Chain A
Amino acid sequence: MNARLTPWLFLMPAILIYGIFGAYPIFQTFAISLTNQVGVAEPGTFIGLQNYVTLIEDEYFLNSLKNTGIWVIAFLIVPNSLAITIALLVKQTFWGAGLIKTVFFLPLALSFAIVGVVWGWIYEPDVGLLDQLLIGLGLDGLIVEWLGPEAATYSVIAAAAWRQTAFATVVFLAGLSAIPQELIEAAKVDGGTRRQIFFRITLPLLKPASTIAVSSALIHALLATEIVLTMTEGGPFGTSEVVGYRMYMETFWNYKFGYGAAIGVIVTLMTATMVVPYVRRMAKAQERDWS
């Protein structure tokens, strides 16, 4: 068999699967976004980039875009910082470490939708766990309307970050386990402080793990929909709406399939623009480190 063809033959199943379930829907979504399609009963008429032009002036879409920006920043910083700290902590062997691991990993077993339901109960005014806890501690003054217009976005992010932290902790813990112990010990022998060891050895060697954790955080932040749906439905007054939710509303609630598809294309482009360069840079850095 032709040696040049052989690799392609082996790749063919993966290419076919990706083509049918990945690439084709993306192109189809782009094609629909150039139409004014309403519902699925009939195809729409070609309107060029009109949906994209309308989006630029759509107050609701721009608001959801702003909130998604907040999600991205918060999701990159909060769960990953917490996860590294927790991973370093639970990596130590001490009494109760297993219990702590279980407590921190538990949210991983829950979907974002379920996390939304549970945290919805926690945030309930007056009778919710959080309010009750603050009242019990005599900190009534800290109580706010957790799902009210001022705090809703941050409260939903906090709930989602709870689960994302669990995921990132598992990833960083695996990354920490892969660091050769001899390197740490050699650094200690050479007089390296804990701080120096962390920043000069541990953190650089966590690059593969951080690639996964950061990419996952980015993707979840950009596509956050189900937790918003279950906790606030984008409210109050759209203050917690994100682009994924906006896409759902336009497509399945308002039946504007063309318009919803345009939002879908923008979300795809945003994800690709942020995630792909990051992953490529990290991959190159790893190649450099290993060569």
Chain B
Amino acid sequence: MTNLKQSVAAACLGLPVALGALTLTAAPASAAGVVHLFHRSAAEPMRVPRMAMWNHCAETLDIEIIENFSPPKQYEVQLPVQLSSSTPPDIYAYWAGGRSQFQAATGKIRAMNDIWAEIKDNYPAGVQATSTEPDGNVYTIPTTFQPNVFWYNKRVFAEHGLTPPTTWEDFLDVAAKLKEAGVTPFLLGSKSGWEPLLWFDYFVLRVAGSDFRNGLMAGTESYLDPRVVEAMELWKGLLEAGYFNDRTSSLGWQEMATKFVTGEGAMELMGTWTVGNFIQAGLEPGTDFDVFDFPPITEGIELAVEGAVEGWAASGAGENTDNAIAMLKCVSEREPQELFARQAQRMAANKDVPVDIYEPAAFQATIERFQDMLDAPFHQNLELATHPGVTEVAKRELPRFLAYPDQYMKVLELLEDRRNDVFGES
């Protein structure tokens, strides 16, 4: 009996030790470190290129990636919750622009100033400027940039004998002629709330200029400033003239892309992500559609460009921060960004990524034009450039303005109230 007990005890003690030893010897060589990565990818076509970029760096640095991702809408919801937890991701997708500095309130975004000096020359001046926040810090390492521009349907323009407008008067003239011909001049859906922000940004930039707009985003200028009122009145004029499509609040940018392709509408102010819809629908870049700059309004105001610089931030929380920083340095380089840009067909932020990787070849001239835009003052769009509290009101009230243009002063008052609330009265 004693022998049996001893045998069982020996087996109980010995077996786990033996199995443990076996596991140790059989275990594959582990990576030098780990990073938890959280990103926004709706589907494989975007997730795969993103991970190709990160896997390149992971292999180079011998770091293991633990990946987590959500579709964009859910990502917006989940990220703030995750960052407020005690186990935030080490690296997460984010945007350069003023909004990042307010993310610091969560204590889960790390300033990258220490590595920025080493890597900033990987980027053109416009991206460098956009990446530096009003508080003087750099939080996000950029990987893509997407300007918001006017797309116009060349077939529709040709049919009505029109050329892209270069002045405000031309712009109004083109819109009037299209309207008279039964074509919707400007396509704009506001279902997601952010779409009309692009128009607001450009009106403010063209009426009041870059410095004023920077002040507006930083909370030092007022939404009730006469220049903002003038911008809204110009926009109201276009709305009241019937130059926009109807049902703006229940339609989004995808529906607008469809109307653009069918020729129901002639122009759309939108980011470069919409071009995929045009090409998939059979439109040929340069032949069937092209871009033009938002026309000048106030004389002497520089033609600044508005858009989005997307990148990645580190939470700076937890033991993997050094790995996260090494990975972020790596993705600033040409090779990983080229991998991503080639597969995703999104414009890389790194200045050395060649243009010939973008398809179709007919679109490369437009890409070069976008890259040239970075020589002009480049602004993050309103959603990314200011406090999220102000953004919330803009995304809520500007769609209201599209439906009820008469309420423009009420919209500005609400924006001003929120500005005072988040930045303090000044």
CB-CB contacts of A10-40 with B at 8 A, as 1s and 0s?
0000000000000000000000000000111
Q: Determine the distance from Cα of A64 to Cα of B126 in the docked complex, in whole angstroms.
A: 41
Given A252-B81, A253-B392, A255-B388, A237 and B397 touching (CB < 8 A)? yes
List B contacts of A233 (CB < 8 A): 73, 192-193
Q: Shortest distance in angstroms between B318's beta carbon and chain A's nearest beta carbon?
A: 15
Q: Which of B389-425 contact A (CB under 8 A)?
A: 389, 392, 395-397, 399-400, 403, 422
Query: Does any Cβ of B come within 8 Å of A125's Cβ?
Result: yes
Binary CB contact string for chain B from 26 to 60 against chain A (1 if under 8 A, 0 otherwise): 00000000000000000000000000000000000
When the two chains form their complex, are residues A39 and B107 in contact, meaning their CB atoms are under 8 A apart?
Answer: yes
- Is B104 within 8 A of A125, CB to CB? no
A contact face: mostly helix, strand, loop, or mixed: loop
**A254 proximal to B (CB < 8 A):** yes
Q: Does A208 contact B (CB under 8 A)?
A: no
A254 to B190, CA, bound (A): 21
Query: Cβ of A229 < 8 Å from any Cβ of B?
Result: yes
A contact residues around B193 at 8 Å (CB): 233, 235
| In the complex, A236 has a CB within 8 A of chain B | yes
Question: How far is B400's CA from A229's CA once the two chains are assembled, in angstroms?
Answer: 19
B113 close to A (CB within 8 Å): no
Tell me the chain B residues, 47-91 only, with Cβ under 8 Å from chain A. Answer: 73, 77, 80-81, 84
Of the candidates A145, A230, A236, A252, the one whose C-beta lies within 8 Å of that of B399 is A236
Tell me the nearest residue of chain B to A125, going by C-beta: B250
Cβ–Cβ < 8 Å partners of B102 in chain A: 255
Q: Write out, one digit per residue, whether chain A residues 193-214 have a CB within 8 A of any chain B CB (1) or not (0).
A: 0000000000000000000000
Closest to B398 in A: A237
Whether A236 and B190, one on each chain, are in contact in the complex, defined by CB atoms closer than 8 angstroms, is yes
Q: Which residue of A lies closest to B418 (CB)?
A: A254
Interface residues on A, range: 20 to 34
A230 to B192: give the CA distance in the assembly, Å: 11
Within 8 A of A (CB), among B317-353: none
Distance, CA A259 to CA B217, complexed state (A): 23
Asked whether B249 lies within 8 Å of A38 as measured between CB atoms, the reply is no
User: In angstroms, how far is the closest chain A Cβ from the Cβ of B339?
Assistant: 31
Which B-chain residue is minimally distant from A225 (CB atoms)?
Answer: B77
Q: Does A119 contact B (CB under 8 A)?
A: no
The answer to whether B399 touches A38 (Cβ under 8 A) is: no
| Max chain B C-beta neighbours (<10 A), residue from A146, A229, A237, A253 | A237
30 contacts between A and B (CB under 8 A): A38-B105, A39-B104, A39-B105, A39-B107, A40-B84, A40-B107, A125-B255, A145-B249, A147-B250, A148-B250, A229-B77, A233-B73, A233-B193, A235-B395, A235-B396, A236-B190, A236-B399, A236-B400, A236-B403, A237-B396, A237-B397, A237-B403, A238-B396, A248-B77, A252-B80, A252-B81, A252-B84, A253-B80, A255-B102, A255-B388
Having A252-B77, A255-B388, one finds 15 other A-B pairs with CB under 8 Å, namely A39-B84, A39-B107, A145-B249, A146-B250, A147-B191, A148-B249, A148-B250, A229-B73, A229-B77, A233-B73, A233-B192, A235-B396, A236-B403, A253-B392, A255-B102
A residues at B contact (CB < 8 Å): 38-42, 125-126, 145-149, 229-230, 233-238, 248-249, 252-256
